[in-house]
Every structure is written in C-alpha cells, then in structure tokens.
C-alpha cells in the first residue's frame, strides 16, 4: 500500500424506554438501544451492528400522585 491512508466512517445510536411505576414513588425502566458503526481504511469497509436491552429501578421523590392542598 502506498500513499496516505484514508479513513472514513460514521456511528449512530438510537434507543428508548418507558417508565413503569410499581408503587407511588418507585418503578422500573426497561430500555432498548441499537448501535450502527461503519468505517473504512485504504478503500476497504467494515461495519457492525449491536443491540442491547437494559433496565433499572428508580425512586422519584414526590411520587406520581396529586399534590395535597
């Protein structure tokens, strides 16, 4: 290979989730994420896809109920 190396590529990620309240102040949040990566060097190209499912528990001060008057 001769000359200067040329690098090209991109990366993007999309995802989302939803909050489900299990009690007045706490709940769980499942999430999904998709990642796409493409890159090239010296005219060759490679790509990768990745998907992940994660989740967590949360506590929210004040809860979801209506405020007392």
Lowest mean pLDDT among 6-10, 18-22, 50-54: 6-10
The predicted pLDDT at position 10 comes to 87
Determine the Cα–Cα distance for residues 6 and 39; give it in Å rounded to an integer. Answer: 11
Q: Where are the domains of the chain?
A: 7-59
7 pLDDT band, cuts 50/70/90, is confident
13 pLDDT band, cuts 50/70/90, is very high
Residue 6: pLDDT over 90:
no
Residue 33: pLDDT over 90:
yes
- Token code pair at residue 19: 């909050």
The predicted pLDDT at position 2 comes to 60
């Amino acid at each position: 290979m001769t000359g200067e190396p040329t690098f090209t590529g991109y990366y993007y990620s999309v995802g989302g989730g939803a909050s489900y309240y299990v009690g007045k102040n706490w709940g769980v949040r499942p999430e999904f994420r998709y990642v796409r990566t493409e890159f090239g060097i010296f005219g060759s190209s490679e790509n990768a896809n990745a998907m992940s499912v994660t989740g967590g528990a949360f506590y929210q001060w004040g809860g979801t109920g209506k405020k007392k008057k």
